[in-house]
Amino acid sequence: MLNKRVKVYISIIIALGLSFLIYSMLKIPKDTIPDIILFGLFAVLAESLLIYITKELTVSVAFAVDLMAVLTFGPYAGALIASIGTTFQVIKYEDGTIKHLFNFPYYKTLFNVSQLALSVGIAGLVFEYLGGIPGEYVYPKYLLPATITALIYYILNSILMAVLISLLMNKSLAYVLGTDFKWTIPNFLFLAFLGIVMAEAFIRIGYISFILLFIPLLMVRYMFKLYIDLKQSYYDTINVLMKALDAKDKYTAGHSQSVERIAALLSRELGLSESHIERIRIAALLHDIGKIGVKEEVLNKPGKLTDEEMNIIREHPVKGYEILSEVPSLRDVALWVRYHHEWYNGSGYPDGLKGDAIPLEAQILSLADVFDALVSDRPYRDAFSQEEAYKIILEHEGTQFSPKLIDAFKKAFEKNREEFKHDI
């Protein structure tokens, strides 16, 4: 069931999008209708060549076709062509299910058509406002307006979809853009360039350019799919390691995923870039990997640990560092994992680092790790409430955690209290 906010948002976008499409139909010259139909069929083909970024989020090579249409025929015809493409697309899901106009929920089709019409149409209007003339040679006179047009289309399309996902998942817009939509940047860079080239080719040589450029379009799709598959394989490997650790230590099941989420929230409050945050998220998922070498009876001991057992537990950051430092692409992550039990006042382990000698990334992992441990059940105690854990963290300002990190924690906790809940 869609909640009220989602229904209102979808209704607003559909109303605006369909209004723009009706207006576009009234504005286009009748002699462009055959071109719109032919371009629309090309857009349908492009929209059907989807690439999965997540289970729900996809991208397609249609961005280049839509941009080409806007630069060639203008904002109104461009919006109609993009709408034809997304209306009649045929989607084949990874499980073999095929979806099309006649078995797809009507409100999803209307939303997709509407948000695309708005994104393409507004981008096309910007092109004209910047002095661009649809149908004239793009290079060199209109190259800058065309580039800005591509950027506007990408931003509007991403934001309209991200707002919907944010409302559906009850996540912040920044979180959705940072986790899901960052994968689309390589797609945008490739297809913006290709869309401009395709528009220039069509204006110069006509419909034969479809044949000449369709192969490069497929190649771009293939390369981006390889990129996504490689990234997914990378995260799948990490998740398998985490599941192995969760199976070994039943009391920390879901702990790494919770630490990853909290670490990302803290990192954003500290103003770190999304590429930097991605590395920290990987470190968060792997921060306890050294515990794989610790005996289960020690990890799951219900009573107080002996000094010898405590020393064994305290070896896990170094063991994790030794495991991860063997992987060249994870050497920075390995250092952060090694230092995630260091204290700001120098009383932590394994190396007794103090103050700014502790990498900021390791400090982030440390606070995220401690908070989630506090709100989780442990063999020797029940979980603290969120409010209790919050107060305990604040009490350790200047000793375990730096004032800078505590300040970021306060802001992140107030803005995203639900995100600080432990994953079970």
Half-sphere exposure of 175 (CA within 13 A, CB side): 22
pLDDT grade, residue 359 (50/70/90)? very high
- What CATH number belongs to 249-420? 1.10.3210.10
pLDDT grade, residue 215 (50/70/90)? confident
Q: pLDDT at residue 8 above 60?
A: yes
Give the pLDDT of residue 237.
74
Question: Which residues, listed in sequence order, are joined to residue 141 by a DSSP beta bridge?
Answer: none
Q: Which residues of 184-210 are buried (b: 16+ CB within 10 A; e: fewer)?
A: beebbebbbebbbbbbbbbbeeeeebb
CA distance linking residue 55 with residue 297, whole number of Å = 38
Query: Looking at residues 351-361, what average pLDDT do you find?
Result: 94
- At 69, list the tokens: 């249409």
- At 50, list the tokens: 């989807």
Angle between helices 360-374 and 274-286 (to 10 degrees): 50
Give the residue extent of every domain in the chain. 4-231, 249-420
Could you read off the pLDDT of 68-94 as tens digits, one per residue?
A: 999 999 999 999 999 999 999 887 765
Q: pLDDT at residue 53 above 60?
A: no
Give the pLDDT of residue 252.
61
- What CATH number belongs to 4-231? 1.10.1760
CA distance linking residue 73 with residue 134, whole number of Å = 5
Query: Looking at residues 122-133, what average pLDDT do you find?
Result: 95
Q: pLDDT at residue 253 above 70?
A: no
pLDDT grade, residue 54 (50/70/90)? low
User: What Cα–Cα distance (Å) separates residue 337 from each residue in 29, 279, 288, 333, 396?
Assistant: 63, 12, 8, 6, 21
Give the pLDDT of residue 59.
62
pTM reported for the whole predicted model: 0.61
303 or 6: which carries more pLDDT confidence? 6
Average pLDDT across the chain, whole number = 85
